[in-house]
């Protein structure tokens, strides 16, 4: 049986942000199990399958309930004299009689019984035996693992059916239990392997380390921490194996080597896959991001303009409004920093611009994205594709996962020239080497055929940058380009990016949560919260004098030297759940100065003026109390 | 000055590298922690900073006895705990606890919050009698700022910041004297980080805890720490009070690290004098000879390749610059105060 | 790479000996005396019986018998069946038929399995995906004998497109039906594995990068998605090829294909220890070779596993 375990097992329900933080509502506590149960009960396919399996179990326990006929008692005449009567439900002649005059219906019932008993006992046997050996091998490792692994290798060399035939031939009188014995003896190693792999993954989890740090003994760790978390894939494999063992039993019977009495025929078998089948639509419950009305940053001729963009995600729990009317623009040579926390909508906006948003579950409901005045959302796929990579390129946060692990970096760099410019293989490679030199990869010529995992984190990110810049695009979108890097390497990478940006006069959208990085490189800043832009300002103005309480709070919560020994200023509460964004200003539950107005009315992105009422260029704030925030 | 609650002497942790088809033979070792000494005083916070691969997380694991030290001593109140096992180790664990980096993997998803925080009591039943445990767990929840009624919830029902509070509550349950925090806020949103830092500081005051605070974020380390140690490639390169390190760093690596930290102040952009280091951290399996930083250091001379600089107070320096630094050419950088 | 192959080859040695020993023990633990069976219904003469047993080495301890057997095996002597024919002859006679059948079935499962899996994975949740799910579930649920009978009855007896059983095992057209039956179960598994793998990898960051680079869809799928997704499928295909080579007992039985499975089945029923042991030793070698090929393919597909 191959391992068809789906990645999404019950243990990996994606974390949901169900908390609103302030004012905890007393929800009825539901356990993980009952959550899953609740979800399953709503699926008709689950209910039907569960009932079928239940029926088979009842048949296995009490076949007498379904037929009073002895499946072995036959009267030869019956086969010729009686036709199947398909309206005689549950009666001896429902399916007719076989050549020996035995009731086919009764044989099906008793045959099903044998199948179910063999299937369940074998599955239980291999799960217990394999589970224990797998847990020992996976947890203890060392020589225990070596021995168990070698033994499983040996058993894996023996085909199941073949081995079962040989073993069963050794039994002079074959009963159901000899079949069970043969299948368990040959099948347990499959579970050992699954369990071993699962345990090895789980034992590295921090919560196991935490338990060890508390002084927990081996038994407790295995029983309380490892087993409950490692068992899920074993159960999935076991349910699939259950079907496999029933089929094997049927095949053995067919070969005349399985059970002799009441051989059953037909394909009545439980379908264990059904209840655990992959959900057809994957619930989108990862962190979802969310934006606001009417702000425009007007500097020079905009290269890219985002106008009133709205993006939603349709999830199992409702519609998450990730982006709610975002407006911004970037000019050539300009750096716009989009600042925000997880769930603010900063990345979703960027992905929408690039056209790499997963749709579904994502959906653009409103707005325009103008590249040099043309709305990209209205373009054909082919036209958009030609802009991607060539005119607008993107740098991702985690270069290790963003680069294809099985292709050399030279190939991945050269691909840009081959696809967009029709370069030959040799030309593409030469250009790749040139690019790698440009981003200061040492010994580029020798390393061009290396794979991403052979480079250090900093070099990988530089390769990412080289790839994005290869065709000298007009605009670069960098999504947290240095977050995954070490501080000293961050500086190298940001310097390189700034240098190349200046050289090619590119626009740059820098998406980040790091106020330090922003201060270093940005020309102007857009601060996002819950899918809206809450403040925009030229970089110096924003740091010197924020006009939104959220920005103010963020700046104040950074540790400062002059506050040492005191409490850090902390914004209270948690970032909002996008499924239920607070009414009015989304920030109001966490805001120190919120009024009733803030709780009811969504603030517009106001123009901001100085104390004398003179408009401040490029400054906007989506706060009812921007005046007080800015001047008071 | 307060007494030393923890003393680390010449601690080494090597992971052997083996090779061979049939018989494994050791061909080298990853020198994750390679001879580190420092002490932690009662009630203080010692910050440990360094980049990935410098060995700071391995150090935490060895101190927690989750990994056995290759050599060296870890003295808790004068007693070497690095070689303990069995009941003696279990008893020591009551005194040293840990807060983990990733609030999503450090809590068992199949256990309720009550079970998670109550587990220490089950392992060490002498701490809280059975009848009082539920109350004790609820008190702990209250202490870390969570609603005590959440006791029956599962970790996935909480946000990252709240989970980190649960992890802290678990660490506090045994009333330890030392808590080792391994990057406790780096996985959290910016606006939530400050909340957790404040909580940690408040708990330190309330319970008289000593912290070892491991992080890569120099600003946060400075905020919370009394003293700071800087690690590079398995070695401590400089250690001193926060003022000594942040204002008067004498080791070039510390200076580079400090200068590279982005400052949230755009006006400093032009005036800042950043040291951009060339290259990456070398492999700890094959560290450079002599001073390990020499391959990236702008001051390196022949001597640095031949002679390992010792962590000691340089005799040539005075005032706050005179603190332990492992450099042959220690000096305070001129424009360091940006 | 060379070191990796060497290590794998060394690891195979204990597995080979372990597996053959296990099978040898199982075969010889079979009740009934094959030597006595040579006399048929007549009572054997005890003196002759003992002499024959001694001649065949059946009076030695089992361990000694195994060691003798392995000693001969290593010189290429697979032993002699009770009918006096060398086992190696039986193997070489049955093997070409089985190889032909196995490769045929293998080709069907790769082309159809990967094809269905790819399209289902790309159209997650759409009609084709759901259809593929039901279709593969059906294939997995129906035991091979039943499927074989249905196909035989429908295509052989009723429609008369093909002969119900194989008359000439060397005629490739007659192997179509058995190959379809033999490949159907694995086809379902391959389709499901491919689908899962595609559906998972399509969300990977590097696929997103490929789209962001402005690659055409065909290139995104062909160059970036498919290759990465084939890694788990290749594992299954490798072990399955090993299984197809030796385990087609049922299909070969139904369609009367004179292949390895058929010969083995008869040998087991006749309790011909030497023949069974010989075949199994040979099959274990095929299994191990398949395993090695999988590992090598793995290393070719995924540079991260290319060992030093």
pLDDT computed for residue C56 by the predictor: 65
Chain C hits for B27, CB-CB cut-off 8 Å, are none
- Has residue A30 got a pLDDT over 50? no
User: Where exactly are the structural domains of chain B?
Assistant: 4-95+176-325
Number of domains comprising chain C: 1
Confidence of residue B44 (pLDDT cuts 50, 70, 90): very high
Chain B hits for A337, CB-CB cut-off 8 Å, are none
Contact A170 C287 (CB under 8 A): no
Q: What is the CATH number of the domain that holds C155?
A: 1.10.3720.10
Q: Please name the chains neighbouring A, where neighbouring means 3+ C-beta pairs under 8 angstroms.
A: B, C
CB nearest A29 (choices: B66, B152, B222): B152
Neighbours of A552 (CB within 10 A): 21
The two three-digit tokens of residue B68, written as one number: 């056995």
Nearest C-alpha neighbor of A229 from the set A206, A262, A247: A206
Chain C hits for A250, CB-CB cut-off 8 Å, are 143, 145-146
pLDDT tens column, B8-38: 999 999 998 877 666 667 778 889 999 999 9
- Has residue C12 got a pLDDT over 80? yes
- Has residue A278 got a pLDDT over 60? no
Using alpha carbons, list the distances in angstroms from residue A243 to A105, A578, B195, C143.
22, 42, 53, 10
Strands ordered across the beta sheet of B227-232? B96-99, B178-182, B210-215, B45-49, B227-232, B235-241
Tell me if chain C has a CB within 8 Å of the CB of B278.
no
Q: Please name the chains neighbouring C, where neighbouring means 3+ C-beta pairs under 8 angstroms.
A: A, B
CA distance A556 to chain B (A): 10
Q: What is the C-alpha to C-alpha distance for residues A213 and B94, in angstroms, rounded to an integer? A: 9
pLDDT computed for residue B20 by the predictor: 67
In a domain, C74, yes or no: no
More confident residue, A503 or A96: A503
CB nearest A251 (choices: C16, C129, C250): C250
| Cβ pair A383, A389 in contact under 8 A | no
Q: What is the C-alpha to C-alpha distance for residues A402 and C206, in angstroms, rounded to an integer? A: 4
Q: Residues of C numbered 7-46 whose beta carbons fall under 8 angstroms of chain B's beta carbons: which are they?
A: 7, 10
Q: Please name the chains neighbouring B, where neighbouring means 3+ C-beta pairs under 8 angstroms.
A: A, C
Percent of chain A with pLDDT over 70: 85
- Has residue A552 got a pLDDT over 60? yes
CA distance C171 to chain A (A): 26
More confident residue, B338 or A422: A422
Confidence of residue A28 (pLDDT cuts 50, 70, 90): very low
Contact B22 C10 (CB under 8 A): yes
Confidence of residue B97 (pLDDT cuts 50, 70, 90): very high
Q: What is the C-alpha to C-alpha distance for residues B198 and B209, in angstroms, rounded to an integer? A: 14
ipTM exceeds 0.90, yes or no: no
Q: What is the largest CA-CA distance in chain A?
A: 111
pLDDT computed for residue A281 by the predictor: 36
> Once rounded to an integer, what is the mean pLDDT over residues B219-233?
91
Ranges A431-440, A507-516, B286-295, C151-160: which has the least confidence: C151-160
pLDDT tens column, B239-275: 999 888 888 899 999 999 888 888 888 887 777 778 8
pLDDT computed for residue A96 by the predictor: 77
In a domain, C183, yes or no: yes
The secondary structure of chain A in percent helix, strand, coil, rounded to multiples of 5, reads: 50, 15, 40
The CATH code for residues B4-95+176-325 is 3.40.50.300
Q: What is the C-alpha to C-alpha distance for residues A483 and A396, in angstroms, rounded to an integer? A: 10
Contact A4 C193 (CB under 8 A): yes
Chain B hits for C7, CB-CB cut-off 8 Å, are 21
pLDDT computed for residue A271 by the predictor: 36
Chain B hits for C10, CB-CB cut-off 8 Å, are 21-22
In a domain, C80, yes or no: no
pLDDT tens column, A302-331: 889 999 999 998 887 888 888 998 999 898
- Average pLDDT, whole number, for chain A? 80
Q: Residues of B numbered 5-34 whose beta carbons fall under 8 angstroms of chain A's beta carbons: which are they?
A: none
> Once rounded to an integer, what is the mean pLDDT over residues C225-250?
82
Q: What is the C-alpha to C-alpha distance for residues C242 and A374, in angstroms, rounded to an integer? A: 58
Percent of chain C with pLDDT over 70: 90
Neighbours of A55 (CB within 10 A): 13
Chain C hits for A155, CB-CB cut-off 8 Å, are 19, 22
More confident residue, A22 or B156: B156
């062909």: which residue's tokens? C222
Tell me if chain B has a CB within 8 Å of the CB of A232.
no
Phi, psi (deg, nearest 5) at residue A549: -60, -30
pLDDT computed for residue A481 by the predictor: 87
More confident residue, A420 or C1: A420
CB nearest B198 (choices: A11, A513, A568): A568
Contact C206 A402 (CB under 8 A): yes
| Radius of gyration of the CA atoms of chain B, in A | 21
> Once rounded to an integer, what is the mean pLDDT over residues A433-458?
88
CA distance B106 to chain A (A): 4
Chain C hits for B21, CB-CB cut-off 8 Å, are 3, 6-7, 10
Mutating which of C212, C250, C255, C306 best tests the A interface, going by the most A Cβ atoms within 10 A? Answer: C212
| Cβ pair A482, A493 in contact under 8 A | yes
φ/ψ region of A429 (left if φ > 0, alpha if ψ in -120 to 50, else beta) reads alpha
According to CATH, the topology of domain A281-522 is Rossmann fold (3.40.50)
Tell me if chain B has a CB within 8 Å of the CB of C3.
yes
Using alpha carbons, list the distances in angstroms from residue A281 to A10, A278, C114, C159.
15, 8, 22, 41
Contact A250 C146 (CB under 8 A): yes
Contact B191 A571 (CB under 8 A): yes
- Has residue B75 got a pLDDT over 90? yes
Nearest C-alpha neighbor of B253 from the set B60, B54, B57: B54
Residues 6+ apart with CB under 8 A from B230: B49, B50, B236, B237, B238, B239, B245, B251, B253, B254, B257
pLDDT computed for residue B120 by the predictor: 92
Query: Which residues face A336 on adjacent strands?
Result: A509, A524
pLDDT computed for residue A67 by the predictor: 78
Phi, psi (deg, nearest 5) at residue B99: -120, 130
- Has residue A123 got a pLDDT over 90? yes
Report DSSP state, residue B24: -
Q: What is the C-alpha to C-alpha distance for residues A76 and A54, in angstroms, rounded to an integer? A: 34
Confidence of residue A293 (pLDDT cuts 50, 70, 90): very low
Find, in chain A, the residue whose alpha carbon is nearest to that of B217. Answer: A487
pLDDT tens column, A372-409: 888 888 888 888 888 998 899 999 888 888 999 889 99
CB nearest A213 (choices: B98, B150, B192): B98
More confident residue, C231 or A23: C231
pLDDT computed for residue A5 by the predictor: 37
Chain C hits for B17, CB-CB cut-off 8 Å, are none
In a domain, C299, yes or no: no
The two three-digit tokens of residue C85, written as one number: 């024919």
pLDDT tens column, A214-251: 888 899 999 999 999 998 888 888 888 888 888 888 88
User: Where exactly are the structural domains of chain A?
Assistant: 1-61, 114-262, 281-522, 539-632
DSSP H/E element including A159 = none
pLDDT computed for residue C33 by the predictor: 60
pLDDT computed for residue A534 by the predictor: 93
- Has residue A84 got a pLDDT over 90? no
Using alpha carbons, list the distances in angstroms from residue A382 to A350, A386, A472, B285, C181.
20, 6, 20, 49, 43
pLDDT computed for residue A289 by the predictor: 34
Q: What is the C-alpha to C-alpha distance for residues A72 and A101, in angstroms, rounded to an integer? A: 9
User: What is the rounded (10 degree) CA torsion for B157, B158, B160, B165?
Assistant: -140
The two three-digit tokens of residue A562, written as one number: 């002059």
Q: Indicate the burial class of A488 (C-beta count within 10 angstroms; 0-12, 13-18, 19 or more).
A: buried
The two three-digit tokens of residue A503, written as one number: 């050289």
Q: What is the C-alpha to C-alpha distance for residues C155 and C173, in angstroms, rounded to an integer? A: 14
- Has residue C262 got a pLDDT over 90? no
The two three-digit tokens of residue B53, written as one number: 């691969």
CA distance B89 to chain C (A): 39
> Once rounded to an integer, what is the mean pLDDT over residues C115-144?
89
């788990």: which residue's tokens? C232
Confidence of residue C36 (pLDDT cuts 50, 70, 90): low
Tell me if chain C has a CB within 8 Å of the CB of A418.
no
pTM for the full model? 0.79
Chain B hits for A224, CB-CB cut-off 8 Å, are 108, 111, 119
Confidence of residue A301 (pLDDT cuts 50, 70, 90): low
pLDDT computed for residue A561 by the predictor: 58
- Has residue A94 got a pLDDT over 60? yes
Contact A21 B159 (CB under 8 A): yes
Contacts 24+ apart (CB under 8 A), B310-315: B311/B37, B311/B235, B311/B236, B311/B237, B311/B238, B311/B239, B314/B250
In a domain, C123, yes or no: yes
For the stretch A260-286, what's the b/e string if a residue is b when 16 or more beta carbons lie within 10 angstroms of its beta carbon? eebbbbeebbbbbbbbbbbeeebbbbe
- Has residue C32 got a pLDDT over 70? no
Percent of chain A with pLDDT over 90: 20
> Once rounded to an integer, what is the mean pLDDT over residues A499-524?
88
CB nearest A215 (choices: B90, B191, B269): B90
Question: Which range of residues forms the domain containing residue C227?
Answer: 94-271
A114-262 under CATH 1.10.3720.10, yes or no: yes
In a domain, C132, yes or no: yes
């Amino acid at each position: 049986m191959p391992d068809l375990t789906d990645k999404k097992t019950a243990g990996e329900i994606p974390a949901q942000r169900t908390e609103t933080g302030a004012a905890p509502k007393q929800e009825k506590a539901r356990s993980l199990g009952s959550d899953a149960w609740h979800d399953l009960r709503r699926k008709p396919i689950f209910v039907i399958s569960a009932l079928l399996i239940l029926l088979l179990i009842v048949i296995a326990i009490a076949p007498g309930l379904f037929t009073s006929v002895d499946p072995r008692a036959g009267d030869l005449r019956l086969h010729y004299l009686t036709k199947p009567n398909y309206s005689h439900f549950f009666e001896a002649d429902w399916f007719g009689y076989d050549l020996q005059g035995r009731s086919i219906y009764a044989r099906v019932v008793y045959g099903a019984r044998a199948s179910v008993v063999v299937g369940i006992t074998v599955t239980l046997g291999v799960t217990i035996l394999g589970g224990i050996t797998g847990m020992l091998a996976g947890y203890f490792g060392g020589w225990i693992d070596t021995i168990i692994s070698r033994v499983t290798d040996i058993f894996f060399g023996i085909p199941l059916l073949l081995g079962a035939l040989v073993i069963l031939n050794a039994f002079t009188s074959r009963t159901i239990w000899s079949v069970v014995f043969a299948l368990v003896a040959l099948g347990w190693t499959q579970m050992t392997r699954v369990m071993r792999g699962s345990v090895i993954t789980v034992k590295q989890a921090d919560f196991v380390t935490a338990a060890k740090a508390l002084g927990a003994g081996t038994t407790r760790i295995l029983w309380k921490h490892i087993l409950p978390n490692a068992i899920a894939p074993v159960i999935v494999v076991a349910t699939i194996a259950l079907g496999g063992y029933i089929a094997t039993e049927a095949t053995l019977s067919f070969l005349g080597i399985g059970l002799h009495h009441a051989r059953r025929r037909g394909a009545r078998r439980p379908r264990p896959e059904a209840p655990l089948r992959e959900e057809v639509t994957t619930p989108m419950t990862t962190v979802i991001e969310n934006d606001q009305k009417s702000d425009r940053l007007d500097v020079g001729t905009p290269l890219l303009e985002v106008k009133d963009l709205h993006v939603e995600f349709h999830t199992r729990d409702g519609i998450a409004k990730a982006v709610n009317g975002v407006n911004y623009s970037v000019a050539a040579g300009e750096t716009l920093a989009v600042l925000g926390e997880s769930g603010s909508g900063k990345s979703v906006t960027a992905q929408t611009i690039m056209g790499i948003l997963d749709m579904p579950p994502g959906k653009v409901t409103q707005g325009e994205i103008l590249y040099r005045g043309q709305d990209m959302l209205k373009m054909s796929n082919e036209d958009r594709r030609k802009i991607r990579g060539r005119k607008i390129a993107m740098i991702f946060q985690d270069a290790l996962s963003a680069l294809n692990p099985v292709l050399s970096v030279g190939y991945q760099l050269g691909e840009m020239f081959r696809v967009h410019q029709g370069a030959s293989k040799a030309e593409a490679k030469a250009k790749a080497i040139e690019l790698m030199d440009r981003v200061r990869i040492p010994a580029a010529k020798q390393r061009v055929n290396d794979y991403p995992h052979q480079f250090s984190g900093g070099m990988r990110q530089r390769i990412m940058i080289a790839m994005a810049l290869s065709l000298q695009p007009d605009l670069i979108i960098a999504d947290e380009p240095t977050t995954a890097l070490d501080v000293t390497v961050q500086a190298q990478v940001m310097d390189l990016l700034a240098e190349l940006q200046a050289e090619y006069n590119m626009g740059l959208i820098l998406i980040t949560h790091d106020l330090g990085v922003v201060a270093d490189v940005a020309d102007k800043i857009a601060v996002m919260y819950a899918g809206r832009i809450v403040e925009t300002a030229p970089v110096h103005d924003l740091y010197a004098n924020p006009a939104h309480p959220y920005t103010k709070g963020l700046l104040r919560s950074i540790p400062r030297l002059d506050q040492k020994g005191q409490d850090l200023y902390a914004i209270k509460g948690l970032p909002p759940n996008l499924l239920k964004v607070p009414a009015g200003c989304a920030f109001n539950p966490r805001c120190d100065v919120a009024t009733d107005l803030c709780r009811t009315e969504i603030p517009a992105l106001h123009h901001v003026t100085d104390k004398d009422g003179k408009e401040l260029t490029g400054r906007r704030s989506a706060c009812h109390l921007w005046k007080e925030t800015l001047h008071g | 000055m307060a007494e030393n609650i923890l003393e680390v002497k010449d601690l080494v942790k090597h992971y052997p590298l083996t090779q061979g088809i049939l018989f494994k033979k050791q061909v080298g070792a990853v020198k994750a922690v390679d001879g580190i000494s420092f002490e932690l005083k009662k009630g203080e916070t010692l910050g440990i900073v360094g980049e990935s691969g410098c060995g700071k997380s391995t150090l935490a694991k060895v101190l927690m006895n989750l990994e056995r030290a290759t050599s060296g001593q870890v003295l808790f109140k004068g007693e070497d705990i690095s070689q303990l096992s069995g009941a003696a180790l279990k008893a020591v664990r009551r005194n040293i606890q840990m807060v983990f980096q990733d609030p999503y993997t450090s809590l068992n998803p199949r256990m309720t919050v009550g079970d998670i925080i109550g587990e220490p009591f089950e392992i060490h039943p002498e701490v809280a009698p059975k009848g009082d445990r539920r109350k004790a767990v609820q008190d702990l929840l209250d202490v870390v700022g969570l609603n005590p009624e959440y006791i029956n919830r599962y970790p996935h029902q909480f946000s990252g910041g709240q989970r980190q509070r649960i992890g802290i509550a678990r660490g506090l349950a045994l009333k330890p004297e030392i808590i080792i925090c391994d990057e406790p806020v780096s996985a959290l949103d910016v606006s939530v980080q400050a909340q957790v830092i404040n909580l940690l500081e408040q708990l330190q005051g309330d319970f008289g805890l000593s912290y070892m605070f491991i992080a890569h974020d120099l600003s946060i380390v400075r905020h919370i720490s009394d003293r700071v140690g800087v690690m590079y490639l398995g070695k401590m390169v400089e250690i001193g009070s926060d003022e000594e390190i942040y204002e008067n760093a004498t080791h070039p690596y510390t200076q580079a690290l400090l200068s590279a930290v982005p400052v949230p102040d755009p006006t400093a952009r032009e005036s800042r004098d950043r040291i951009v280091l060339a290259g990456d951290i070398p492999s700890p399996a094959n560290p450079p000879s002599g001073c390990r930083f020499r391959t990236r250091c702008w001051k390196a001379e022949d001597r640095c390749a031949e002679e390992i600089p010792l962590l000691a107070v340089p005799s040539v320096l005075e005032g706050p610059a005179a603190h332990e630094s492992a450099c042959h050419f220690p000096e305070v950088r001129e424009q360091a105060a940006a | 790479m060379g070191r990796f192959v060497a290590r794998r080859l060394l690891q195979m040695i204990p597995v080979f000996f372990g597996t053959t020993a296990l099978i040898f023990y199982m075969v010889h633990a079979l009740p009934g005396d094959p030597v006595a069976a040579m006399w048929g219904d007549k009572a054997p003469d005890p003196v002759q019986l003992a002499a024959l047993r001694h001649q065949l080495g059946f009076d030695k301890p089992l361990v000694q018998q195994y060691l003798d057997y392995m000693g001969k095996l290593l010189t290429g002597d697979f032993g002699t069946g009770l009918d006096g024919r060398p086992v190696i002859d039986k193997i070489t006679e049955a093997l070409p038929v089985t190889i032909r059948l196995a490769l045929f079935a293998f080709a069907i499962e790769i082309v159809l399995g990967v094809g269905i899996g790819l399209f289902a994975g790309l159209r997650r949740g759409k009609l084709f995906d759901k259809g593929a799910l039901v279709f593969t579930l059906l294939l997995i649920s129906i035991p091979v004998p039943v499927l074989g009978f249905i196909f035989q009855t429908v295509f052989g007896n009723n429609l008369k497109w093909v002969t119900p059983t194989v008359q000439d095992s060397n005629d490739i057209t007659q192997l179509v039906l058995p190959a379809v039956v033999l490949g159907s179960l694995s086809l379902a598994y391959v389709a499901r594995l491919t689908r899962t793998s595609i559906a998972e990898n399509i969300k990977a960051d590097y696929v997103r990068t490929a789209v962001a680079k402005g690659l055409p869809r065909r290139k995104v799928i062909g160059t970036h998605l498919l290759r990465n997704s084939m890694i788990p499928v290749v594992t299954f295909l490798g072990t399955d090829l090993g299984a197809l080579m030796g385990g087609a007992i049922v299909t070969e039985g139904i369609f009367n294909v004179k292949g390895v499975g058929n010969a083995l089945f008869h040998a087991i029923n006749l309790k011909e220890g030497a023949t069974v042991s010989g075949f199994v030793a040979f099959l274990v070698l095929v299994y191990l070779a398949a395993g090695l090929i999988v590992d090598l393919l793995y290393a070719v597909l995924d540079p991260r596993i290319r060992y030093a």
